[in-house]
Structure 1
């Protein structure tokens, strides 16, 4: 049997599922002729299927050294590297294949997905555009192109692509869900709700559609259905923290009757700060025989220790003995929280008295007039940070208001801006000396007002009962709801909403006007206090 005949037989074995025989025959062929690239490539495929990924990658590269123009080897290498999470190398392999043969829509589609994941959005857009041009009637390509455009915040164009995908394939649940997310960002919340509902009707197990629908329902005030669908968050698989696994059962909301309950954190700092309001209520229900434990992030622990009736333990340390457990953001569902029953009494957190005294002395020495803490950016890893963070420059207008002292309590990558503000406007920079949320809480106790973007500081101020004004994006996070200047969660909070996507001018104008009135009232109050006569004491 010649090598060519052996190769033909090996291919037949491979195609008929006789992988072991095919593998042995390819190995014999390569032993006879180390330059027979087709056998080397096909053996790489069999090794990849068996999990021998390093050997498979080496075989594909060896085949390419022998035949650099082999499309199959480039595509096989790209596919393997993608499976291994080596996205940059995979993109290089697919790009090489696309250069050799530009009219491969499937390869272009895969390359576009990789480039999108690498945040090379301009390149990805060009590649997806080529795939769509080659096969304009392929729904998946239109959907993927739309997802890229949405990531680039080209929402109108993205919506066109998703509608095209739906027209081509009316059963495409992913395109419906993507369309829902896109029109939601444009403020078309009812249209978004219908799209998510259609997506989950087509695919009842589509966790992303259930999760996204829950966010819209909470946004419009449908708490009953919203909290129920919010539980799909764990199956959605895109939360920053995974669902925990415990031997102890999950608490079902039944009477605690002396049982010990562990409440554990999930998602971001702000989420924890907002929903720990339920723990003092649980402590009262558990009674003297029960215990409420809260597991939380290290940086939050100092301020959360002020929760009455709650024992705080930090993540990474040993957990106490407990009988039942629950993630913190499932508490509204178990409490049956509706808009009219939100537990809104504040403060439910308090600052440490010793820290309050220390920071108050520093504030008295360095700041006069109306003391306003400011935060201009959230975490850059937050999925919506581009829309919610506004930067430090807009605060220059507030610094120019007579009688106002701005105080930086910003933490994170942009806190250094306070050392050299744009245009040099005056600001008291406390950021470098803030260690954790306990320091931030203590500083807030000495401030007259906090003005911030939608980030954890807003929740901390609200939980402390500190007056706080919050910049809210046009398409807001669900907890801020729609068309209201107040928050049902925080009585001391005032919301200043963006009037159009990407434009903060109106919100800044309204905050500036409101702050001018507040500063004027503050000066009047200080003047009245100074003019008040001192009453003598009769002997």
Structure 2
């Protein structure tokens, strides 16, 4: 039996699932002819399947040294490197394969997926576009291209890609969900609901589509179905904080009757600040305001380190730092499930503020820093925040930079104060055009400092970030710049917020265009300063 016959037999054994026999035969072939690359390549694949992936990489590289033009070996190696999470090597390997033969849509699609996971959206979009152009009848390529176009806020083109995907594959639940998210970004909220509903009809356990539908329902004021769908967030798996696992049962809203409840943080700072309003209500319900020592209080709150100083002011609640040993408790609940358990509707949002307070000593200390700031005698002291966390999924839509605030600094009787924290706070040291700005950012250690500064301000003007929630919870006047497709809690077509009575919303009229919004805000601030 010659080598070609032996190789054919080994391939047959491999296809039949007889991996050990196939491996022995490939090894015999490679021993008799070390330059027979197909046997070396297939040995590599068998080692990979057996979990010996580093050995497999070495064998595939050996096969490529023998036949550098083997697309099969390049693609196998790239796939294996991807499995090993050696992303840069995998990208280089897929690119070599694509250069050897540019007409490989499947390879370009795999390259695009890898680049997307590597946070290289422009390169990923290019790869998906080339794949879709080479094979316009493949639904998955159109869907992947649409997802990257949406990331780049090319919403009309993305919509076209998802509609094409659905035309090619009417059962593609992911494309319906992506379509829903895209038309939502374009302001077509009812069309988004229809798309999400179609996705969950096709795939009843599609957590992402259920979750996104719930956000649109909350945005539209349908709190009953919105809160119900909001519980899909844990199965969605895309939250910044994972679901916790406890041996104690989840609280179902029944009377506590001597049981101790742990409420634990989830998601971002703003989410926690918004929903801790329910805890004093719970404490009142169980008589915690008469409960004596802190350790005997039936309501526990576990929170992030940055929020601990400001959340200590919650009446009737024992606040514990995440990571610290937890006191004993009987039942538990994530904080964002409280609105549903309270049966919150638009007309029953617990909106009494303040439900948080700043520390008096800090208020006095920061007050000294702010003395004499206001110009023209009795002007307005206005705190500003121009950016949220860059890791937030919608940050590109909500953060506007410091430059637009120069117009506000020019208003007679207005003094601006930077309370920005995070990667962009350094901009306050050198404002665009050199407009006047008191930069307090470097000295702000945590939310307790921010709260104390706010207590000394006349107004806070900010983008949609945690500072907006803190100001609202403190009962401080706050004006919030809201993107065209807003977060669910800001709802639609209203300048006020049912969650925060001291808040005023300035909505973006068109996606990616803030000029009109800033115009309206500037006029409002001029009126307030003049008054």
- Equivalent in the alignment of 2:371: 364
Offset of 1:116 from its aligned partner?
Answer: 2.8
Aligned twin of 2:301? 294
Q: In the comparison of the two structures, how many residue pairs are matched?
A: 521
1:479 aligns to what? 489
Equivalent position of 1:430 in the other structure: 440
Offset from partner CA, 1:446-489 (integer Å, 9 cap, x none): 00000000000000000000000000000000110000000000
Return the alpha-carbon distance in structure 2 between the equivalents of residues 90 and 39 of structure 1. Answer: 22
Determine helix, strand or coil for the equivalent of 2:277.
helix
1:10 and 1:77 map into 2 onto residues whose CA distance is 21
Q: Is residue 2:256 matched to residue 1:246? A: no
- Does the Cα contact within 8 Å between 1:239 and 1:267 map onto a contact in 2? yes
Shift of 1:367: 4.2
Could you tell me which residue of structure 2 aligns to residue 83 of structure 1?
A: 83
SS of 1:295's partner is: strand
Match of 2:457 in 1: 447
* Cross-structure match for 1:214: 214
Q: Is 1:97 matched up with 2:77?
A: no
1:159-170 equivalent positions in 2, closer than 5 A: 159-170=159-170
- Could you tell me how far apart the structure 2 residues matched to 1:27 and 1:333 are? 63
Partner SS, residue 305 of structure 2 = coil
Question: Could you report, residue by residue, the CA deviation over 1:179-210 in whole angstroms, capped at 9, with x for unpaired residues?
Answer: 11111001011111100000000100111110
CA RMSD of aligned residues (A): 1.3
How many angstroms does 1:24 deviate by?
Answer: 2.6
1:4 positional shift:
3.4
Aligned to 2:256: 256
In the alignment, is the contact (CA less than 8 A) between 2:260 and 2:298 conserved in 1? yes
TM-score by length of 2: 0.96
State which drifts further: 358-367 or 391-400.
Answer: 358-367
Q: Is the 8 A contact 1:286 1:292 kept in 2?
A: no
Q: Which stretch shows the higher mean deviation, 45-54 or 251-260?
A: 45-54
1:401 aligns with 2:411: yes
- Unaligned 5+ residue runs, structure 2? none
Partner of 2:21: 21
Q: Distance in 2 between matches of 1:276 and 1:229?
A: 21
Shift of residue 294, structure 1, vs aligned partner: 0.8
The answer to whether 1:67 aligns with 2:74 is no
Partner SS state of residue 300, structure 1: helix
Residues 405-428 of structure 1 deviation map (CA, whole Å, 9 limit, x = unaligned)? 000000001101111100000011
Aligned position for 1:514: 524
For residue 371 of structure 2, give the secondary structure of its aligned residue in structure 1.
helix
1:290 CA displacement? 5.3
- Structure 1 residue aligned with 2:146: 146
The answer for the alignment partner of 2:355 in structure 1 is 348
Aligned pairs for 1:31-430 (under 5 A) are: 31-287=31-287, 288=291, 291-368=298-375, 369-430=379-440
Q: Secondary structure at the match of 2:306?
A: coil
Q: Secondary structure at the residue paired with 1:494?
A: strand
C-alpha contact (below 8 Å) 2:387/2:424 kept by paired residues: yes
SS in 1 for 2:183: helix
Kindly state the Cα deviation for residue 71 of structure 1 after the two structures are TM-superposed. Answer: 0.8
Aligned to 1:537: none
Contact 1:306–1:349 (CA under 8 A) maintained in structure 2 = yes
SS state at 1:484 partner: coil
Gaps of 5+ in 1: 522-539
Q: How does the TM-score come out when normalised to structure 1?
A: 0.94
